[in-house]
Chain A
Amino acid sequence: MAEIVIKNVRKEFGDFVAVKESSFTIEDGEFFMLLGPSGCGKTTTLRMIAGLELPTSGEIYLDGEEIAQRAPSERDIAFVFQMFALYPHMNVYNNLAYPLKSQGMPRAKIRDKVDEVAGILGIRDILRKPVGGLAGGDRQRVALGRAIVREPKAFMMDEPLGALDAEFREHMAEELRALHDRMGATTVYVTHDQLEAMQMGDKIVVMNNAVVEQFGTPQEIYDKPATMFVADFIGSPSMNFLDFAGSLANGDTAVELDGHPMGVPELREGATGDLVFGVRPEHIHLATDGTYRGKVLATEYLGTTQIVTLETANGEVKARIASDQPATAGETVGLSFDPGTITLFEKKSGRALRSQLNEEVLHG
């Protein structure tokens, strides 16, 4: 049970910088997601917390203790690997008992402990089986069991559901979250799947190109993205970006798209030049009238909603509307946006402009 503080951590592999100075805090008992595309440095960050990689510089605090340069065995952190990494020459029981043996725990106590964990995970009946023949889900449970059996301060999980088939993943994700809630232990979870991150995480760190792009709750990250990358990476379909040029001042509450005024949250800073108007698909409304118009290119039926792709003067947008609302390819319709949900970005840096919407979330 522990708080983990990452402070200015940097990792280089030769000339390659895997993680640039990153800082964030994982609070005690949180289910914390490290999210990003492959190669963004999220796994390296996780491995540095666990001690499988040593940071080039920076500090890592576990429960107030600085551990950045310690051996993994001195950290009391458990790790669940993507490919499970169960010891192939041992049966399930021995896999679970192995972390306890290293502590010199007496045999009888090990037996009780393994039995208890096997009970929690529902794998008592396979304890004597070799791990080679196990199904994916059972392997996953054994891997989790090996992590929880020694009651570590924190769990690191490197895409633990990545090796399971889609159908089973959802089930296992629920099981994992339930297990976390039951144990109450701090968990750091790496994934490239934004849905998984939104669904399971208390907090999310979004990384890209070795940099932490944003850090916050799923709602904050979805509704108040700090960068265009985050806005694009989270959500399916992702946020629409409408390019426009203009000059905005602190306190403005509207921008002009192709000559049409559009309401936005009150700005807290000014900006000039190439800007981007960011709007989530569900915040776009279609109507037969309206001055800002777009041409329907295609519709995608999804059951309760449909995704309509439209061509506008500022670029292509996707709108999520009720599936009973008619929209036919080729027709021209009017678009309106929920003014309170809009995020404006600087096109060049990709940075979100501070506004009434996001001022509490954006730092600096």
Chain B
Amino acid sequence: MSAHAINAPTNRQKWVAGTLVIVYALVTMIPLAWIMLTGFKSPADAISYPPKVVFEPTLEGYVNLFTTRTRQTQEFLDANPPENWADEIVRQYDMVIVGPSKFGERFLNSVIIGFGSTFLSVFLGTLAAYAFSRFKIPLADDLLFFILSTRMMPPIAVAIPIFLMYRNLGLSDTHLGMILLYTAVNISLAVWLLKGFIDEIPREYEEAALIDGYTRFQAFYKVVLPQAATGIASTAIFCLIFAWNEYAFAVLLTTANAQTAPPFIPTIIGIGGLDWPAIAAGVTIFLLPVMIFTILLRKHLLRGITFGAVRK
């Protein structure tokens, strides 16, 4: 047997590897599971010591997350019976629901800004990467280095200038401002990742399309784009994860209008302290879009992590 032979793993090796993976998965998933469980606890259970693993589940956290409530007198409560199951939950604290909370709005802001900037980064990134990959551009290497250099310091280092600039330009606390900012941060990643993917697509495909009577642009979107789908999908995931989770700029630049979910969730205040179940519920819901997006595109993500090194 040569030195390069790859042996099939024995059962014992499989068993050991499997155990390691399960242990690692458990370790990383425990905090996540704990947050999800906390979302279904009552405030008392959430902070009880020793921590409760078995508890009576309640939707109180979710109700508190999505509603604003006020305390009412006993007479008022007696005179007005609960309108629905959610109202019934808050009655136990002598409260009534008076309207929706801001969470829905903030969540929607996150969706608009997150997906908006992801789309813009990937769109511009694809065009730029194609140009860098296929055309003779003067100083192409220097330009690519310049694009990469925008990531050589933490973006937050330029927070103050951006804050002042945005105030003067009227971009503070706007969706457009946040989309542009996140796009600016993500574009270097998008260009570099996508250039790798497009470099891998043989030029002959486009040349065949040119010969077959198509224009350069038709060849690009009918032949190159479908080939680059994997790269585009994985780049989109990376961009979305950054824009979705970004906290520092969101705290600094947004307040009432365009505030995203990350700075909003920790501000959910309950009665007599932080409302942990509501916060946990908010975190759980906040996780879902990225989770679904990632699961839908996970095959591509795996290839994306190898940075296009693997040929089909």
Binding site for B on A (CB under 8 A): 50-52, 71-73, 77-79, 81, 83, 85-89, 98-99, 102-103, 146, 150
> B205 — which chain A residues lie within 8 A by C-beta?
85, 87-88
5 pairs, A vs B, C-beta closer than 8 Å = A73-B213, A81-B207, A89-B227, A98-B209, A102-B218
Q: A88-B227, A89-B226 are in contact. Are A99 and B212 (CB under 8 A)?
A: yes
> B204 — which chain A residues lie within 8 A by C-beta?
81, 83, 85
Partner of A73 from the list B202, B210, B227 (CB cut-off 8 Å) is B210
The answer to whether A71 and B212 touch across the interface, beta carbons within 8 angstroms, is: no
The answer to whether A77 and B211 touch across the interface, beta carbons within 8 angstroms, is: yes
The answer to whether B213 and A85 touch across the interface, beta carbons within 8 angstroms, is: no
Q: A89-B226, A89-B227 are in contact. Are A72 and B202 (CB under 8 A)?
A: no
The 8 A CB mask of B200-243 against A (1 = contact, 0 = none) is 00101101111111110010000100110000000000000000
- Nearest-neighbour CB distance to chain A for B263, whole angstroms, equals 42
- Nearest-neighbour CB distance to chain A for B135, whole angstroms, equals 14
The answer to whether B226 and A72 touch across the interface, beta carbons within 8 angstroms, is: no
Known A52-B211, A73-B211, A86-B208; further 20 A-B contacts with Cβ < 8 A:
A51-B210, A51-B211, A52-B207, A71-B210, A72-B210, A73-B210, A78-B211, A79-B207, A81-B207, A85-B202, A85-B204, A85-B205, A87-B205, A89-B227, A98-B209, A99-B212, A99-B213, A102-B212, A102-B214, A146-B212
> A88 — which chain B residues lie within 8 A by C-beta?
205, 227
Q: Please report the C-alpha to C-alpha distance between residue A124 and residue B11 in the assembled complex, in whole angstroms.
A: 47
The answer to whether A79 and B211 touch across the interface, beta carbons within 8 angstroms, is: yes
- Nearest-neighbour CB distance to chain A for B35, whole angstroms, equals 41
Q: Please report the C-alpha to C-alpha distance between residue A238 and residue B226 in the assembled complex, in whole angstroms.
A: 48
> B212 — which chain A residues lie within 8 A by C-beta?
73, 98-99, 102, 146, 150
> B213 — which chain A residues lie within 8 A by C-beta?
73, 99, 102-103, 150
The answer to whether A73 and B214 touch across the interface, beta carbons within 8 angstroms, is: yes
> B211 — which chain A residues lie within 8 A by C-beta?
50-52, 72-73, 77-79, 99
Q: Please report the C-alpha to C-alpha distance between residue A89 and residue B227 in the assembled complex, in whole angstroms.
A: 7
Q: Please report the C-alpha to C-alpha distance between residue A304 and residue B128 in the assembled complex, in whole angstroms.
A: 62
Number of chain B residues close to chain A: CB under 8 A: 16
Q: Please report the C-alpha to C-alpha distance between residue A78 and residue B210 in the assembled complex, in whole angstroms.
A: 10
- Nearest-neighbour CB distance to chain B for A102, whole angstroms, equals 4
> B209 — which chain A residues lie within 8 A by C-beta?
87, 98
Q: Please report the C-alpha to C-alpha distance between residue A85 and residue B212 in the assembled complex, in whole angstroms.
A: 12
The answer to whether B208 and A85 touch across the interface, beta carbons within 8 angstroms, is: yes
> B210 — which chain A residues lie within 8 A by C-beta?
51-52, 71-73
Q: Please report the C-alpha to C-alpha distance between residue A89 and residue B226 in the assembled complex, in whole angstroms.
A: 7
> A99 — which chain B residues lie within 8 A by C-beta?
211-213
> A78 — which chain B residues lie within 8 A by C-beta?
211
Q: Please report the C-alpha to C-alpha distance between residue A17 and residue B223 in the assembled complex, in whole angstroms.
A: 31
Q: Which of A77, A79, A85, A98 has the most CB of B within 10 A?
A: A85
Residue on A with the closest CB to B211?
A79
Q: Please report the C-alpha to C-alpha distance between residue A86 and residue B226 in the assembled complex, in whole angstroms.
A: 13
Q: Please report the C-alpha to C-alpha distance between residue A73 and residue B218 in the assembled complex, in whole angstroms.
A: 12
Residue on B with the closest CB to A102?
B213
Q: A89-B226, A89-B227 are in contact. Are A83 and B202 (CB under 8 A)?
A: yes
Nearest 5 interchain pairs by C-beta: A85-B204, A102-B213, A99-B212, A89-B226, A85-B208
Partner of B208 from the list A77, A81, A103 (CB cut-off 8 Å) is A81
> A146 — which chain B residues lie within 8 A by C-beta?
208, 212
Q: Please report the C-alpha to C-alpha distance between residue A150 and residue B215 in the assembled complex, in whole angstroms.
A: 17
> A72 — which chain B residues lie within 8 A by C-beta?
207, 210-211
> A103 — which chain B residues lie within 8 A by C-beta?
213
> A86 — which chain B residues lie within 8 A by C-beta?
208
- Nearest-neighbour CB distance to chain A for B222, whole angstroms, equals 9
Residue on B with the closest CB to A78?
B211
Residue on B with the closest CB to A84?
B204
Q: Which of B202, B208, B211, B227 has the most CB of A within 10 A?
A: B211
Residue on A with the closest CB to B226?
A89
- Nearest-neighbour CB distance to chain A for B310, whole angstroms, equals 15
> A150 — which chain B residues lie within 8 A by C-beta?
212-213
Residue on B with the closest CB to A104?
B213
Residue on A with the closest CB to B216?
A71
> A51 — which chain B residues lie within 8 A by C-beta?
210-211
Q: Please report the C-alpha to C-alpha distance between residue A98 and residue B227 in the assembled complex, in whole angstroms.
A: 16
- Nearest-neighbour CB distance to chain B for A159, whole angstroms, equals 12
- Nearest-neighbour CB distance to chain B for A106, whole angstroms, equals 16
> A89 — which chain B residues lie within 8 A by C-beta?
226-227
Q: Please report the C-alpha to C-alpha distance between residue A89 and residue B225 in the assembled complex, in whole angstroms.
A: 10
Residue on A with the closest CB to B219?
A73
- Nearest-neighbour CB distance to chain A for B52, whole angstroms, equals 53
The answer to whether B208 and A79 touch across the interface, beta carbons within 8 angstroms, is: yes
Q: Please report the C-alpha to C-alpha distance between residue A98 and residue B207 in the assembled complex, in whole angstroms.
A: 13
> A71 — which chain B residues lie within 8 A by C-beta?
210, 215
- Nearest-neighbour CB distance to chain A for B209, whole angstroms, equals 8
- Nearest-neighbour CB distance to chain A for B289, whole angstroms, equals 28
Q: Please report the C-alpha to C-alpha distance between residue A87 and residue B204 in the assembled complex, in whole angstroms.
A: 10
Residue on B with the closest CB to A83?
B204
Residue on B with the closest CB to A81?
B204
> B223 — which chain A residues lie within 8 A by C-beta?
87
- Nearest-neighbour CB distance to chain B for A359, whole angstroms, equals 41
> A79 — which chain B residues lie within 8 A by C-beta?
207-208, 211
- Nearest-neighbour CB distance to chain B for A131, whole angstroms, equals 11
- Nearest-neighbour CB distance to chain A for B267, whole angstroms, equals 48
> B215 — which chain A residues lie within 8 A by C-beta?
71, 73
The answer to whether A87 and B208 touch across the interface, beta carbons within 8 angstroms, is: yes
Q: Please report the C-alpha to C-alpha distance between residue A20 and residue B202 in the assembled complex, in whole angstroms.
A: 27
The 8 A CB mask of B102-120 against A (1 = contact, 0 = none) is 0000000000000000000
- Nearest-neighbour CB distance to chain A for B206, whole angstroms, equals 9
> A98 — which chain B residues lie within 8 A by C-beta?
209, 212
The 8 A CB mask of B261-272 against A (1 = contact, 0 = none) is 000000000000
The 8 A CB mask of B85-116 against A (1 = contact, 0 = none) is 00000000000000000000000000000000
- Nearest-neighbour CB distance to chain B for A113, whole angstroms, equals 14
CB-CB contacts below 8 Å: B176-210 with A: 202, 204-205, 207-210
